[in-house]
Structure 1
């Protein structure tokens, strides 16, 4: 998958991977439809951060969830 290309499919993929890795319970609150194309690069940065790490502290998980909330339209 080429994440350098901004597309709805890539947004969906990144959101799915983030929620899966963080084991988010309320995935309906963060779905691909909630993100606009202007926040693509920020979402990609969060995705890359989450993909790099093996585990997250509760504070890190909260900060990531808050940042995702801030990116929502």
Structure 2
């Protein structure tokens, strides 16, 4: 999967994968329309950490959700 390039398709893929890994019930936080492609590298960094880490504790999951909330368009 080539997620190196910032594109709308890759953004959507990253967010869907993050939602799956974080097992978040409210997937509204992962709507690609709510994110700016200028923040793609931040999202990719979070994605890499989540994927590498594997299982996350409840506190770690909440921390990642909080980070996503800060990256979203306001």
- The TM-score normalised by the length of structure 1 is 0.94
Check conservation: 2:16, 2:30, Cα contact below 8 A. no
**Alpha-carbon separation, structure 2, partners of 1:8 and 1:37:** 7
- The TM-score normalised by the length of structure 2 is 0.92
**Residue equivalent to 1:69:** 69
**Residue equivalent to 1:34:** 34
Gaps of 5+ in 2: none
The count of aligned residue pairs is: 73
Give how far 1:29 is off: 2.5
Gaps of 5+ in 1: none
Cα deviation 1:2-23 (Å, max 9, x = unaligned): 1111100000000000000111
Q: CA RMSD in A?
A: 0.8
Cα deviation 1:6-43 (Å, max 9, x = unaligned): 10000000000000011110001321111101111000
